[in-house]
Amino acid sequence: MTARRRVIVNADDFGQSPGINHGVVRAHEQGIVTSASLMVRWPAAAEAAAYAREHPALSLGLHVDLSEWVYRDGAWVPLYEVVPTEDAQAVRGEAWRQLAEFRRLTGIDPTHIDSHQHVHRDEPTRSILIDLARRIEVPLRHCCSEVTYCGEFYGQTADGASLPGRVTTDALMRVLAALPPGVTELGCHPGIGEDLDTMYLKEREEEVKVLCDPRVRIALDDLRIDLGSFGRNGFDRRGSLS
């Protein structure tokens, strides 16, 4: 018998701006988004946390935010830096500060942890976030054997060139069809409007349209893929299927 497939559709950057909040909310209420990762440092974080408190079906993780880089004039340059990512002590202190702020805003622990622009794939951030996730017993993206991460639904190349064909309904259905057995976290970045200085902007509205397209939910049913989320909506606090 073929193992069942389950997908968690997780929206990154929740709380970074009102426009991103609106996109995440629409993609959750009208589409297939089941989970989000909260950026606690931004003014719109309180609004996002309030929504999540009132809508517990949306699992809410911590999107650790240490920096953002953009590709301009042929090179990657920092848009902002919270702490130097090579400074282990500074990274550790900032990660725990952001966890404390998450708890203050939401009143609970996150259901999962990941990081802005996947900075925790590199040391020392990787080891620091592995330790943090273990201490509060939640899965960490890329480091949880129970959950495979898929970032194929993304409309740019590694150097920021637009790939509009990657954020279409047909493209998303192809991604879903190719998911492996077991549990997959499918990353997405919905948003509405242009209220943020970021390299990935116009693609966000296209993502909202696709995530809310009824054909996608029909495809999930046809492919016999279960739609789930982190936390009490599908996983225990160690990241295993419940």
- At 211 the pLDDT is 98
Taking the C-alpha atoms of residue 150 and residue 152, their distance in angstroms, rounded to an integer, is 6
Beta strand spans in 65-196 (E): 67-72, 75-81, 113-115, 147-150, 182-188
Region at 21 (left for phi over 0; alpha for psi -120 to 50; beta for the rest): alpha
Within-domain flag for 242: no
- Domain CATH code at residue 145: 3.20.20.370
Within-domain flag for 238: no
Within-domain flag for 240: no
Q: Which domain holds residue 98?
A: 5-233
Query: What total of structural domains would you count in the chain?
Result: 1
B/e letters for 98-137, b = 16+ CB within 10 Å, e = fewer, are bbebbeebbeebbbbbbbbeebbeeebbbebbeebbeeee
Query: pLDDT truncated to tens, each residue of the chain (242 aa)?
Result: 456 899 999 999 999 999 999 999 999 999 999 999 999 999 999 999 999 999 999 999 999 999 998 888 888 888 899 999 999 999 999 999 999 999 999 999 999 999 999 999 999 999 999 999 999 999 999 998 899 999 999 999 878 888 889 999 999 999 999 999 999 999 999 999 888 888 888 899 999 999 999 999 999 999 999 999 997 444 443 344 32
Within-domain flag for 241: no
- At 2 the pLDDT is 56
Within-domain flag for 34: yes
Within-domain flag for 123: yes
The length of the chain is: 242
- Six token digits for residue 222: 């046809």
Within-domain flag for 106: yes
Q: Please name the helix (run of DSSP H) or strand (run of DSSP E) that holds residue 222, with its range, or none.
A: helix 214-223
List all residues 6 or more positions away from 25 whose beta carbon is below 8 Å from its beta carbon.
51
Within-domain flag for 99: yes
